[in-house]
Amino acid sequence: MFSGQSIVTTSEDKDQFHFKADETLKVIGLLQVFLQYCVQAGTKSRMMVKVDRLSYNFGAYWALKDISFTLGKGEFLFLTGHSGAGKTTLLRMLYGALPVNRGRASVAGFQLNNLRKRQIPQLRRKVGVVFQDFKILPKRTVFDNVAMALEVRGMPRMNLERRVRAIVRAMGLETKSYSTCERLSGGEQQRVAIARSMVANPELILADEPTGNLDFDLTMHLMDIFKQFHTYGTSVIMATHSREVLDCVPEARILHLQDGCIVTDGESSINEENEEDD
């Protein structure tokens, strides 16, 4: 997967990661190599997500009410809104954790209405997810948690090891690779979750408050990494409350939720016209 200047075997591998500007630039350079070698199968349609009059209720409570939007391939979309506005609920629907019964939704070529159980793993091969509560396995190492995303895809061990080490290094976690996750700080666990969502170079990344536990410098560094994936054509939907995070991607669209409704939707560069339903 990685040739020549392997991004994982330099003498600096053992160095502690510092988030200085030159180090960040180096990591971004490494990520570019990583992304160039990751070949995407690619969803044919230009539309990555299409949501049409979607609603969701927990019993009598409607967490999402009649929302519609589209996300073009390669677009970056922020989901904002107060606590309880419905951001996590929407993301959970988009990766098949909650059923689509009211309205319609398609993601990466999968129609989510009546999604069959056996299709869920196929959907998740195309979609990387950073959960708000991480959902990493505490007794397993950093390496194992990240590797899992490639094991389910049946990647050969040698390629898998290179890729995992590359993304772990890009996250500044190389000195923790073989620590179990229960021994990591909240911010380190969050970076493991981000690494796992990215390691397979998915077509779409759904990230739920991915920088919620991180300080300013680390937030900026990780936003640079998300932006690199975006530059290489990955679509991103990121839920956030943070103005700093929104300001990191000025070209992104912002979809503002309030009490389960979309109250504003920024301009999209890709038009819905002429697009066929997936």
Ligand X SMILES: Nc1ncnc2c1ncn2[C@@H]1O[C@H](COP(=O)(O)OP(=O)(O)OP(=O)(O)O)[C@@H](O)[C@H]1O
Binding site for Mg ion (CB under 5 A): 87-88, 132
Q: Enumerate residues 210-239 that contact ligand X by CB under 6 A.
A: none
In terms of CB distance, is 55 or 132 closer to Mg ion?
132
- Beta bridge pairs of residue 42: none
Q: Decide: 65 and 89 in contact? Cβ < 8 Å.
A: no
Q: Does 178 contact ligand X by CB under 6 A? A: no
Q: How far apart are CA 12 and CA 8, in angstroms?
A: 9
The string of DSSP letters for 206-264 reads EEESTTTT--HHHHHHHHHHHHHHHHTT-EEEEE---HHHHHH-TTSEEEEEETTEEEE
Q: Enumerate residues 99-158 that contact ligand X by CB under 6 A.
A: 132
Q: For residues 124-152, b (16+ Cβ closer than 10 Å) or e, as one string?
A: bbbbbbbbbebebeeebbbbbbbbbbbee
Instruction: Write down the least CB distance from residue 222 to ligand X, Å.
Output: 18
Q: Does 83 contact ligand X by CB under 6 A? A: yes
Q: Among residues 230, 199, 241, 251, which one has the least CA distance to residue 88? A: 241
CA distances from 258 to 71, 76, 91, 262 (A): 19, 20, 15, 6
In terms of CB distance, is 88 or 145 closer to Mg ion?
88
CA distances from 239 to 31, 207, 218 (A): 23, 6, 17
- Partner from ligand X, Mg ion, none binding residue 255, C-beta < 5-8 Å depending on class: none
- Partner from ligand X, Mg ion, none binding residue 83, C-beta < 5-8 Å depending on class: ligand X
Instruction: Write down the least CB distance from residue 48 to Mg ion, Å.
Output: 21
Q: Please identify which residue in 3, 22, 39, 58 interacts with ligand X, judged by CB under 6 A.
A: 58
Q: Does 60 contact ligand X by CB under 6 A? A: no
Tokens of 71: 């996300």
Q: Decide: 181 and 191 in contact? Cβ < 8 Å.
A: no
Q: Which residue is nearest to Mg ion (CB)?
A: 88
Instruction: Write down the least CB distance from residue 68 to ligand X, Å.
Output: 17
Q: What is the chain's length?
A: 278
Q: How far apart are CA 102 and CA 165, in angstroms?
A: 42
Q: Please identify which residue in 31, 63, 149, 245 interacts with ligand X, judged by CB under 6 A.
A: 63
Q: Does 84 contact ligand X by CB under 6 A? A: yes
In terms of CB distance, is 57 or 132 closer to Mg ion?
132
Q: Does 16 contact ligand X by CB under 6 A? A: no
Instruction: Write down the least CB distance from residue 86 to Mg ion, Å.
Output: 8
Tokens of 227: 């932006």
Q: Tell me which stretch binds ligand X (CB under 6 A): 7-15, 21-29, 87-95, 192-200.
A: 87-95
Q: Tell me which stretch binds ligand X (CB under 6 A): 79-87, 99-107, 143-151, 197-205.
A: 79-87
Q: Which residues bind ligand X (CB under 6 A)?
A: 58, 61, 63, 81, 83-89, 132
